[in-house]
Amino acid sequence: MNWNLTPLFKTPEDFKAAFDEVSSYIPRLASFKGKLNEERSFIEYLLLSDEVELLGGRVYQYCSLKSDLNKKNIENAAELSKVFALFNQLGIATSFEGPELISIGEETILGFIDKHPEVSHFRFSMEKLFRSQEHVLDGASERLLSYFSPVSRGGSSLYTALSTADKSGVTIKLKDKSTVVVNTSNFTALLENAKDPSDRKKIFEAVYKHYELHKNTFAGIYEQVLNSGKAYAKARNYSSILESHLFNNNIPTSVYHNLVNVASKQNKALKKYLKLRKQYLGLKSYHTYDRFLNFVNSDVKYTYEEGREIFFKSIAHLPEEFIEYAHEAVRDGYVDVLPQDGKRTGAYSSSVTDTHPFILLNYTEGLDDVFTLAHEAGHSIHSLYAMNNQHGNNQNYTIFVAEIASTFNEHMLLDYFIKSGDTSKEVKIQLIQKAIDSIISTFYRQTLFAHYELLAHEKVEKDEPINYEVLSNIMVDLYKKYYGLDIKKEGYKEFVWAYIPHLFSTPFYVYQYATSFAASFKIYQDVSNGVEGAFERYTGLLKSGGSKYPIDQAKEAGVDFTKKETFMAVIDRMNTLVDELEKLLSE
């Protein structure tokens, strides 16, 4: 039930020794400056980079996992910031690399690589480097920029401090006179189980009050994130901040616009669903926080062991190799299961080069927790496939394809529940709601946030002022557009932009939940319909790790993001499900 970090380092002393060893690479790597045009030095340099990536990855992983187990532990946080400082020094010491390689030229560099199979896994990253040539500056400018990289992370760390470290649970009294401490990790479970509208309001406000109270500070932090994105995009000659974020993965900005266009316009079924909910749940008015209410209330609990068994069963019909990876992904010691005070909220799977991935959960035995387990196991399965089929830096798949593996597992799990459960009307309703809710939360909701980021960044690009009112107004408009809901009536909901960590820590990230969802949906359909070679094409994507551009990986797996149809498959599914639900409810 708890992580065992000894596969990373047996003792804290081993960790310290590794930390020092990584430091020792700094002068060694720096000594190659001006020598990369010699074939032997170049190859040596790459092999050294491999070593430092391997060891540095483990140092980071150890520290970061430890710190996530207790965010309130100041020692852990200090250790982690030491690791970041170390990486920053490494970055400065090797900042000559890009400009120097570019001045040597693509032909020579790729020629060196092709003569040395031991570094062939660097070919793709070198191709990427030369593609980015127009955005790499001269040596002095790169060095200057590297000094500012800790400053550019400022927004993200301030956000974490204000939203996590400086936030404590709020005690509220419910209608039945019981008291409960609301925090971000039990928030949704409490909302789901609160039958009384006034209780839900209290629970919601207990969490959101914090964002309202600090709205000016949160907006100021976000402005810092926007401005740093703008400075970076300008310094590197991108035509927009959006382009600067999509460029590295070679994703056309049209994919982003295509997604936002489809989701913001194709929402008839979404609005119909909300109407059904309001009517069927007997709500006087519908609030966004009512989205956790179930049509059918099942108090079925799944212990972690049961949840894991169900997950295994849901993929039992797939090829042996996949099943083995799934068992490996959730092996004891690699999953930290239960919530605890100070532990990072939410869930993730984290992996670094040549190291078994780790999963963090905050498992509370609900149906959703089983889905989260399957989701995170999907990421770990992906990492294990990549680890066993790629070398070094080619193992690191992009976020763009990451959510394909995780949501593929969710589709499988849902399928299993629908087919294996007793097919009583109640169970059917529960599962269809689950399917619809996952389309809303993964596709519509994330695209709405992606749409918000796009509009906020466009504002800062046009030098328009950024403050909490501006940010809230964007959200208010988008909720009207997507959901047909007026969140102004919900008091604090307009500060939802301050509630989403990704918007602060990794701009232009969340759209990938939606694109991945659409992709995994298409792949899942192909696999379930027994389309010849579909599963092999899918595992081909998993095996390829980060060795290709994600847009090409998806295409090879049968998904074309530049086509509207890819996203329309999700919309069609939504339409069918809502009609089905309506029929069941009226029977």
Catalytic center residues = 376
Q: Least Å distance between CB 406 and Zn ion? A: 4
Of the candidates 155, 215, 226, 134, the residue with the CA atom closest to the CA atom of residue 462: 226
CB of 512 to Zn ion, least distance (A): 9
In angstroms, the Cα distances linking 530 to 71, 316, 372, 446, 533 are 46, 16, 26, 30, 8
CA–CA dist 328, 171 (Å, integer)? 40
420: tokens are 């294996």
Nearer Cβ to Zn ion, position 350 or 406?
Answer: 406
> CA-CA distances (angstroms) from residue 69 to 63, 65, 300?
10, 6, 28
Nearest residue (beta carbon) to Zn ion: 406
User: Phi, psi at residue 194, to the nearest 5°?
Assistant: -80, 115
Nearest-approach distance from CB 579 to Zn ion, in angstroms: 29
How many residues appear in the chain? 587
Residue 173's SS3 state is: strand
Largest pairwise CA distance in the chain: 77
Q: Residue 490 corresponds to which tokens in the numbers above?
A: 């919900």
CA dist 203 and 343 (Å) reads 21
Alpha-helical regions (H) of 238-282: 241-247, 253-265, 268-280
| Contact status, residue 280 vs residue 585, Cβ threshold 8 Å | yes
Tokens of 247: 């460029």
Instruction: Report, in Å, the least distance between residue 420 CB and Zn ion.
Output: 25
The site map against Zn ion for 401-440 (x = CB under 5 A) is -----x----------------------------------
Least distance from Zn ion to the Cβ atom of residue 513, Å: 7
Pick 406 or 409: Cβ nearer Zn ion: 406
User: CB-wise, 76 or 446, nearer to Zn ion?
Assistant: 446
> Would you say 228 or 520 has its CB closer to Zn ion?
520
Total Cβ atoms within 10 A of residue 562: 12
Number of residues that bind Zn ion (CB under 5 A): 1
CB-nearer residue toward Zn ion: 109 or 440: 440
Q: Which own/partner contact pairs does 311-315 have at CB distance under 8 Å and 24+ positions apart? A: 311/370, 311/373, 311/374, 311/377, 311/409, 311/413, 313/416, 313/420, 314/374, 314/409, 314/412, 314/413, 314/415, 314/416, 314/417, 315/409, 315/412
225/244 Cα distance (integer angstroms) = 14
Of 388-396, 399-407, 409-417, 450-458, which part binds Zn ion (CB under 5 A)? 399-407
CB of 380 to Zn ion, least distance (A): 11
Of 223 and 403, which has the nearer Cβ to Zn ion?
Answer: 403
Q: What is the DSSP track for 316-361? A: TTS-HHHHHHHHHHT-TTSEE-S--TTPPPS-EEE--TTS--EEE-
Q: Which of the ranges 258-266, 351-359, 398-406, 494-502 carries the binding residues for Zn ion, by CB under 5 A?
A: 398-406
What's the min distance (Å) between Cβ of 575 and Zn ion? 26
Nearer of residues 395 and 520 to Zn ion, judged by Cβ: 520
Give the interface with Zn ion as residue ranges (CB under 5 A).
406
